[in-house]
Amino acid sequence: RVMGPQGSMGSSGGASRDGLVWDTENPAVPGFSLRAASLEAALRFLIDCFLPIGGLEDDENRFPYIFLLMHQWFIKSEKLARCLVDQYVTSNTQHRCLLPCVHTLQHSTHCPIYKHKAQVCQVFRYWMHKFPQHLEAEGVVARLASLQARLRQEGHTVLADLVDMNRRPSPRGEWARGVSVRLPLAKHTRKVSLVFDHLEPRELADHLTYLEHKVMKRITFLDFKQYAEQGTLADNPRLERSISQFNGLSQWTQCMVLSRSTPQQRADVVTKFVDVAKNLLELQNFSSLMAVVGGLNHSALARLSQTTTCLSGETRRTLAQFATLLSSGGNFCNYRKALAEARDFRIPILGVHMKDLISVHVALPDVVDGMINLRKMAQLSHIFQELWELQHSPPPLDVSMDLINTLKLSLDTAYTEDEIFELSLTREPKAPM
């Protein structure tokens, strides 16, 4: 059993009270015991999670973090800000003081009205510090500016400072930047960049990781939501760019191997890419690792028996180990285990988590009995938390922007799958029957 807002007691078997449905016996996320709620009830519960002096009533309570992380799935940030401001404005009608009171900081210990106002401001402060980019929208900024002016007018200078947008941390990442325009390459362009030959494996891994992070951090929450709802990359340029770059890296890997004329030369390129893959794993860049290993294991290269014969036993074993790590078997269980054990900066395989996103969205409705399906939000938060951490963890890399730009051109390969396979057949023709 869990204590609900206003002192109500919700039962653990999914019972509903005050617009809240509890799920304490089998929560989707530890510390998140709500199964469903009306928007109004969820907002009341959110506010009551905070102490008027700051911080959470219960440090183990995950509801505020997950609710604010996921809120754009069911409500725009501007509307959420408006609802919270409305909660502040109606404090005098929602609560009553038993003693004569002027509802100020000096009376906070026994004034329910001031307590509620302070809690609303603490919600904004928490939101501002955890997810500053949510508050970048013009409508949200206007709401907060209006609330701050009202607070100062009412003499609540301490509370006004809590919602001061100038005190928020700078949003990490480049959420406000639009996706850059790709210049189309001529269909039969056959330029192969020299960047591969001039960079050591670690340097190449560093620059691939920087480029991967740069593209991924521009993808927004709403881009992922749109993909889950529509199941297509159409009209989703940031997400499409990320997938295109992943495929480009895989094809570039194949092209670099096939650009060499002798089996030994091709084997040397494969060996270098395996060394690049080792460094990508060390950097915990699972996405580029998947693209490179996928390219090396592609049928256009796997069929090159003469090239494979020239590989050392160690190189073949390492490549096989990478293939096992990234295998789709058991729903990518080996990769998921490695990702769960990774700490600090890491880049997940976007395609795997997009598949998870679709699976959860299809299996669970957004609304249950007219209430927000918070259990679904909690399950989706596993996916979005990983993506959030990616986008807000700067890569620990020192790179050359000239090389980054050269590498970007290299990954814009103009070959099709059929053309790559034809080149493979040219390098090592099929044995006669």
Domain ranges of the chain: 38-167, 195-427
Local mean pLDDT, 10-residue blocks, the chain (433 residues): 37 63 87 94 96 92 96 96 95 76 66 92 96 87 94 93 86 43 36 70 96 94 95 94 95 96 98 98 98 98 98 98 98 97 95 96 96 96 91 89 89 87 96 75
Q: Same CATH topology for 38-167 and 195-427?
A: no
CATH number for the domain formed by residue range(s) 195-427: 1.10.840.10
CATH number for the domain formed by residue range(s) 38-167: 1.20.870.10
Q: Report the pLDDT value the prediction gives residue 171, as an integer from 0 to 100.
A: 57
Q: Report the pLDDT value the prediction gives residue 257, as an integer from 0 to 100.
A: 97
Contact predicate 152/126, CB 8 Å: no
